[in-house]
Chains A and B, each alone.
Chain A
Amino acid sequence: MSTTPSTSQLSQEEQGTVGLGAPPVLADTSETVLSGRGLVQTFGKVVGVDGVDIDLFPGEVLSVIGDNGAGKSTLIKALTGALIPDAGHVYLDGREVHFRTPQDARGAGIETVYQTLAVAPALDISANMFLGRERRRQGPLGSVLRMLDKKGMKEDAGKSMANLGIATVQNMSQAVETLSGGQRQAVAVARAATFATKFVVLDEPTAALGVKETGQVLNLIQQIKARGLPVILISHNMPNVFEVSDRIHIARLGGCAGVITPKSHTPTEAVAIMTGATTLQKG
């Protein structure tokens, strides 16, 4: 498979197209971490995703961009169990999977971070990191009295945060609501990075954040990638997308308008493809 940018220099104005992007031949699903083939997701008469193919390769950051209603979130939900696709196939490491709930996907090693800052504000950082998969103490205190290993979880939460370079937060017993929006999102991203074994999905992780905090989250994405975990980033924000992505999947009107790379196209071209001002030349 090839994502090599096209050398075609046809001017957009003349042709209404930009260079070759989407590979004509789909990747062999044994090479990908995750693949979707012919995914369809409808809501009554509304078509959310209409026969879309998508690939995520090892170690890459794949961005999914698109206008509101283009089907980017629906596509990701159909891939990660939040929605059950009406048709199509999902392959994880080359094997077909059928996620019925987000928990199934989590169980398979896929972690998702949502834009809504999905943390419990009154609980502390360590409690949030391990929320839903708390560890018990060793011995009868854990097995009989079912006591939590608070100390161990606190230590591991601190290590995870430090590994990702989140040094601004020192005290794992700090309630999450006392953190800034960026720090809260950092907790959610750190949680995902700690527990994901296949890949991490970030759904508009910076939508609620300021410029500086957004920079912190982008740093985290690079950190995750550096650890060898692939990332799917859903975003509206072109500069962010072009800063961190290896490839960019452009969702449009429930379909895929093409897959580009930050090297093959400019953000302006990406927006043009996204909005339908130009179409990606298929070759």
Chain B
Amino acid sequence: MTTTVEPPAPASAAEQFAMRQQSPIQRIQHVLHAHPSISPLMVLIVSIIAFTIINPRFIQPGTIGIILQQVAVIAALAIGQTLIILTAGIDLSVGAIAILSSLLMANFAVKNGMPGILALVLGILAGVVAGAINGTLVTRLKLPPFIVTLGTFSIFTAIALLYSGGQEVGRRQLPPILNWAGTRIQLGPFRITTGVIIVAILAIVMAFILSQSSWGRHVYAVGNDAEAARLVGIRVDRVLFSVYTVAGLIYGITAWVQIGRAGTASANAIVDANLDSITAVVIGGTSLFGGRGAIIGTILGALIVGVFRTGLSLAGVDDQWRVFAIGVLVIVAVSIDQWIRKVKA
């Protein structure tokens, strides 16, 4: 029984099916498909509200400032990781490159007596070179990124330890420029560090490049369908190489932020960086299958992890529940991604 007027030309069964009313769920699917950053944004807002209800101290400027400082390093590494995951790759050498970079810049200054600024630049350059090595292996040897970066993860870590002798470089020894990212500044009610600002600028610049430049479009196209990208004349290998190299640059800059945050350059720093950065990217709605996602999502993902860590600890819950909750979030995020990808016209 239907009250609708008969259309002039009766539609076929399939056409009627195509014209059917979308269910609310399907509409949500479409909105999420068009704006994948909505789901991490919702998770972030809901979790902030929930943790504030549990413990009102959570919403204080002091707490938020601390979360931002905690999140900065992982967020920065996750920006590089996002670029690589957008090309349907994965980078397991994130942490190793950051450690290599930070130990090199610290030891260049302390052991070799280089001026701070030169040590900093050379340290960041080491990150670029490490990224370029990953890029070369991926594009020339045509090895899967997982294998390449699994190998270079060990290699870069070993180089870092061999060079530094496994010794950490303390705050007192470091030239001021290497500690500069730890400078505390007051931004309105929030007390943050210059490192947070560096990461924020990094995020804005990369988000701009990804969404506004043809290079950005090519990154997405390569991750979407490398063969299709090649057929329209995109030099896929060049795009891939540049992505790994730019990621290396970002890891190098992050090494500087990390030294500022920890006050020292140590091989034990950011040991969980690989999984943490991938977690931030995935929770942020970037697809592990490539071609879909954005920097904004990754920043939201990193913030969600930070909010859970601080929120649950303020709620007086065992830290293992944070680990548990992040695990659940990752699985939920990837499930949502799979579901969104099935969107139909």
Contact = CB atoms under 8 A, between A and B. Distances in A.
Grouping DSSP codes into helix (H, G, I), strand (E, B) and loop, the B interface class, with mixed when no group exceeds half, is helix
Contacts of A136: 214
A134 interface: yes
B344 A178 contact: yes
Interface stretch (A5-13, A18-26, A48-56, A118-126): A118-126
A180 B345 contact: yes
B233 A102 contact: yes
Interface in A87-134: 102-103, 106, 112, 114, 116-123, 127, 131-134
B220 A120 contact: yes
Contacts of B221: 120, 123, 131
Contacts, number: 73
A213 interface: no
B217 A148 contact: yes
A133 B217 CA distance: 11
B27 to A, nearest CB: 13
B33 A178 contact: yes
A27 interface: no
Given A102-B233, A120-B291, A131 B227 contact: no
B282 to A, nearest CB: 17
A121 B33 CA distance: 12
A189 to B, nearest CB: 13
B232 interface: yes
A175 B31 CA distance: 12
A118 B225 CA distance: 8
B191 to A, nearest CB: 33
Contact of A123 (B217, B344, B345): B217
A118 B291 contact: no
Given A131-B232, A177-B343, A180-B345, A116 B217 contact: no
Interface in B302-345: 343-345
Contacts of A148: 212-214, 217
B25 interface: no
A147 interface: yes
B213 A120 contact: no
Q: Helix, strand, loop or mixed for chain A's interface?
A: loop
Nearest to A176: B224
B293 to A, nearest CB: 9
Interface in B168-227: 212-214, 217-218, 220-221, 224-225, 227
A127 B221 CA distance: 9
Interface string B22-41: 00000000000110000000
A116 B230 CA distance: 13
A103 B231 CA distance: 9
A267 B227 CA distance: 34
B228 interface: yes
A179 interface: yes
Contact of A118 (B213, B227, B344): B227
A214 to B, nearest CB: 16
A101 to B, nearest CB: 9
Interface in B32-59: 33-34
B227 A120 contact: no
A145 interface: yes
B234 A131 contact: yes
Interface in B143-187: none
A146 interface: yes
B232 A132 contact: yes
A70 to B, nearest CB: 23
Contact of B217 (A112, A127, A180): A127
Contacts of A114: 231
Contacts of B343: 177-178
A118 B212 CA distance: 23
A122 B232 contact: no
Interface of B: 33-34, 212-214, 217-218, 220-221, 224-225, 227-229, 231-234, 291-292, 343-345
Nearest first, the 4 A-B pairs at minimum CB distance are A134-B214, A120-B224, A132-B232, A132-B233
Given A102-B231, A148-B217, 14 more contacts: A116-B228, A116-B231, A118-B227, A120-B225, A122-B220, A123-B217, A123-B221, A127-B217, A131-B217, A132-B229, A132-B233, A132-B234, A146-B214, A179-B345
23 contacts: A106-B233, A116-B227, A116-B228, A118-B231, A120-B224, A122-B292, A123-B224, A131-B229, A131-B232, A132-B218, A132-B232, A132-B234, A134-B214, A136-B214, A146-B212, A146-B214, A148-B212, A148-B213, A148-B214, A148-B217, A175-B34, A178-B33, A191-B232
